[in-house]
Structure 1
Amino acid sequence: MRGSNDSPAWLIVMQREIVARVMNKAYLFGLLVTLLLIAGIAGFFAWQSQQTDSYDVAVTAGDEAAATAVDQAAAELRDGDELTVIEVADADAARAAVEDETADVWLSSGEDGWTLSGWREPSGSLTQLLAPVVERVTVTERAEALGTTFDELSAGGELVTERLDGGAVDPGVVEFASFALAFLFFLSAIGSGQMIAASVVEEKQSRLVEIIASAVPLRQVLGGKVLGNSVIALGQNLLFASVGLVGLALTDFKAAVPAMTASLGWFVIFFAVGFVAVAALYAMAGALASRLEDLQGTTAPMSVVLMAVYLTTFGADGTLERVLSFVPVTSIVSMPVRVLAGDASWWEPVVSLVLLAVFAVGVVLVSERAYRRALLQTGGRVGWRQALRAG
Structure 2
Amino acid sequence: MVVATREIVVRALNKGFLIGLAVTIAMIGGLIGFTSYMDSRTESFDVAVVAGDEAAATALESAAEDATASDQRIALSVVRVDDAAAAEAALEDETADAWLSSGTDGAAATDGAAGWTLSGWREPDTDLADLVETTVREQVMAERATDAGTTVEALTAGSEIGTERLDGNPVDPEIVFAAGFVLAFLFFMGAVGSGAMIAGSVIEEKQSRLVEIIATAVPLRQLLAGKIIGSSVIALSQNLLLAAIGLVGISFTDLSAMLPAMTATMLWFVVFFTVGFVAVAALYAVAGSLASRTEDLQYTTSPLMMLLMAVYVVTFSADGVLERVLSYIPPASIVSMPVRVLNGDALWWEPLVSLLILVAATFGAVLLSERAYRGALMQTGGRVTWKTALAGDRGTTLGA
Query: The TM-score by the shorter chain falls in which range?
Result: over 0.9
| Equivalent residues in 2 for 1:152-171, closer than 5 Å | 152-171=154-173
Which one scores higher on RCO, CA 8 angstroms, separation ≥ 6? 1
Q: Which amino acid aligns with 2:318?
A: A
On the 8 A contact 1:58/1:105 being kept in 2, the answer is yes
Q: For 1:105, which of 98, 122, 125 is the aligned residue? A: 98
- How many angstroms apart in 1 are the aligned matches of 2:94 and 2:13? 58
Shift of 1:79: 6.0
C-alpha distance after superposition, 1:322-342 (max 9, x if no partner): 111111111111111111121
Is 2:79 the partner of 1:86? Answer: yes
- How many angstroms apart in 1 are the aligned matches of 2:166 and 2:204? 56
Partner of 1:24: 14
Partner of 1:126: 128
Partner of 2:343: 341
- How many angstroms apart in 2 are the aligned matches of 1:165 and 1:28? 43
Q: Which amino acid aligns with 1:268?
A: V
| Structure 1 stretch displaced more, 209-218 or 376-385 | 209-218
Aligned length: 381
Unaligned runs of 5+ in 2: 105-113, 396-400
Shift of 1:297: 0.5
- How many angstroms apart in 1 are the aligned matches of 2:384 and 2:93? 75
Partner of 2:188: 186
Q: Which amino acid aligns with 1:15?
A: T
Residue identity (%): 62
Q: Which amino acid aligns with 1:265?
A: L
- How many angstroms apart in 2 are the aligned matches of 1:102 and 1:40? 32
- How many angstroms apart in 1 are the aligned matches of 2:248 and 2:37? 13
Partner of 2:108: none
Partner of 2:28: 38
Q: For 1:240, which of 242, 247, 252 is the aligned residue? A: 242
Q: What SS does the corresponding residue of 2:380 show, helix, strand or coil?
A: coil
Partner of 2:398: none
- How many angstroms apart in 2 are the aligned matches of 1:230 and 1:252? 34
Partner of 2:384: 382
| Structure 1 stretch displaced more, 353-362 or 37-46 | 37-46
| Equivalent residues in 2 for 1:230-379, closer than 5 Å | 230-379=232-381
| Structure 1 stretch displaced more, 225-234 or 342-351 | 342-351
Q: What SS does the corresponding residue of 2:331 show, helix, strand or coil?
A: coil
Shift of 1:88: 3.3
Q: Which amino acid aligns with 2:41?
A: Q
* TM-score for the superposition, normalised by structure 1: 0.93
Please give the root-mean-square deviation of Cα atoms over the aligned residues, in Å: 1.6
Q: Which amino acid aligns with 1:297?
A: Y
Q: For 1:145, which of 147, 167, 173 is the aligned residue? A: 147
* TM-score for the superposition, normalised by structure 2: 0.91
- How many angstroms apart in 1 are the aligned matches of 2:103 and 2:140? 10
Q: Which amino acid aligns with 2:36?
A: A
Partner of 2:224: 222
Partner of 1:7: none
C-alpha distance after superposition, 1:190-216 (max 9, x if no partner): 111011111001111111111111121
Shift of 1:254: 2.1
Moved over 4 A (4+): none
C-alpha distance after superposition, 1:300-347 (max 9, x if no partner): 000000000000011211111111111111111111111112121111
Q: Which amino acid aligns with 1:55?
A: F
Q: What SS does the corresponding residue of 2:138 show, helix, strand or coil?
A: helix
